[in-house]
Copies of this chain bind each other. A is one copy, B any other.
């Protein structure tokens, strides 16, 4: 008598995990993956990194062995290496091996907590850009005043934040399409509002590439383009998806990271004579520490590299096991919901 149906079981998805390169060491990644294989029956894990280290860790950590495989990779790109030089010198670095395996179909998406530049470059070397996409984007969620979507997320998505520093109008249009599809699928926001970042809300504001992208987005069906937003709208969260080139996005994101410390410091600098304010600051310090954690990518699953035929999720270098598991879940969700196909469908013809 009920019209409810049991959801079809999810198709199995294999996610490759670059086990090396994390600030917290390979065991933290392996712990996250091990728990994931116990929690999510549809995700298989391919662990890529130092085989002996992986085997030793797996021997100590409860996991579902049926859904874990291991690929030895003898080299590692460290956090402080220059991406191109490091990948040239170490063709068998774990991130490169993992990206090749994904490109060859041994897994369907990749998660890494390693060197961001080396991650993006590995995608560029081994994955294919989607037809109609000329440049990839690194996207990230950041905390906002406004909440959005079915889950009331206090986060917006901003892209690009560093993959493509010099984006053309067509690149910005593609970023808008990618960001919209990602927010739709991952944040369960059925019609995410998408805005271009500019120096004014009027259509003719901004450098030529932004003005041209604005005109093209107004003509584009399938995304909810709400026009330009300004810098002040970034923290407010006026739009669900903020589109900009990787240069501006990187500057904004890093400013956001630095700014809350500074507000506190400035307050204490300017008013250290006033005891009431000092007491207020002291009371808040653990609160701000907590905000910092929330604004970390920990809880949200990482930053996607968008525009390629394969999915890559960049987890924060300090990601704990649970965050690695979440990144794996986000990657699997993107694969299950065919993010790449969704993006391609929405691109201008």
Contact = CB atoms under 8 A, between A and B. Distances in A.
Interface of A: 143-145, 154, 162, 165-166, 197-200, 205-208, 210, 230-236, 244-248, 250-263, 265-267, 269-271, 274, 276-277, 279-284, 286-288, 290-291, 294
Interface SS of chain A: helix
B282 A206 contact: no
Given A165-B206, A198-B251, A277-B286, 17 more contacts: A143-B266, A145-B265, A199-B250, A207-B247, A210-B247, A231-B256, A235-B255, A235-B262, A236-B262, A247-B248, A251-B251, A252-B255, A263-B288, A277-B283, A280-B282, A281-B284, A283-B283
A287 B262 contact: no
16 contacts: A144-B266, A166-B208, A197-B251, A199-B250, A199-B251, A230-B251, A230-B254, A235-B258, A248-B248, A252-B255, A255-B255, A267-B288, A271-B287, A277-B283, A280-B281, A280-B282
Contacts of A248: 247-248, 251
Contact of A252 (B198, B235, B251): B251
B262 A291 contact: no
A154 to B, nearest CB: 7
Q: How many copies does the complex hold?
A: 2
Contacts of A244: 251
Given A199-B247, A263-B260, A287-B280, A166 B207 contact: yes
A134 to B, nearest CB: 16
A146 to B, nearest CB: 10
A144 B258 CA distance: 11
Given A231-B250, A247-B207, A254-B232, A277 B267 contact: no
Nearest to A208: B166
B235 A259 contact: yes
A166 B208 CA distance: 8
A-B CB proximity, top 4 nearest: A280-B283, A231-B254, A232-B258, A235-B262
A279 B260 CA distance: 19
Given A207-B247, A247-B199, A255 B232 contact: yes
Given A207-B166, A234-B258, A145 B250 contact: no
Most buried by B among A166, A244, A259: A259
B206 A231 contact: no
B294 A270 contact: yes
A206 B145 contact: no
Contacts of A144: 262, 266
A1 to B, nearest CB: 40
Contacts of A282: 280
A276 to B, nearest CB: 5
Given A206-B165, A258-B236, A291 B277 contact: no
Contact of A263 (B154, B200, B263, B290): B263
A233 B255 CA distance: 7
